[in-house]
Amino acid sequence: MATIGKKSLRSDLGRVRGLGSAKDGTHHWWGQRVTAIALVPLTIWFVASIVGLAGAPLTALKAWVASPVVAVLLLALIVAVFQHARLGLQVVIEDYVHDEAVKIASLLAMNAAALLLGGVAALSILKLAFGG
Amino acid sequence: MAAETKETGKMHARPLSPHLQIYRPQFTSVLSITHRITGVALAVGTLLLVWWLAAAALGEAAYARVGAFIDSPIGLLLLFGWSLALFYHLGNGIRHLFWDAGRGFDLPTAEKSGYAVIAFALAATLVAWVIGLAVLGGR
pLDDT, tens digit, for every residue of A23-72?
777 889 999 999 999 999 999 999 999 999 999 999 999 999 999 999 99
Instruction: For chain B, positions 114-133, list CB contacts with chain A under 8 A.
Output: 128, 131-133
Phi-psi region of A4 (alpha: psi -120 to 50; beta: other; left: phi over 0): beta
Interface of A with B in 71-100 (CB under 8 A): 81-82, 85, 88-89, 92, 98
| pTM of the model as a whole | 0.87
Q: Please give the Cα distance from B125 to B83 (Å, whole number).
A: 6
**Phi, psi angles (nearest 5°) of residue B72:** -75, 160
Asked if A61's CB is within 8 angstroms of B39's CB, the reply is no
* Per-residue pLDDT tens digits for B17-43: 767 677 788 999 999 999 999 999 999
Spell out which residues of chain B touch residue A124, defining contact as CB-CB under 8 Å.
50, 53-54, 56-57
B43 to chain A, minimum CA–CA distance in Å? 6
Kindly tell me if the per-residue pLDDT of A2 is higher than 50: no
Contacts of residue B137, Cβ cutoff 8 Å, sequence gap at least 6: none
Give me the interface pTM, i.e. the ipTM. Answer: 0.86
Portion 16-35 of B in contact with A at CB < 8 A: none
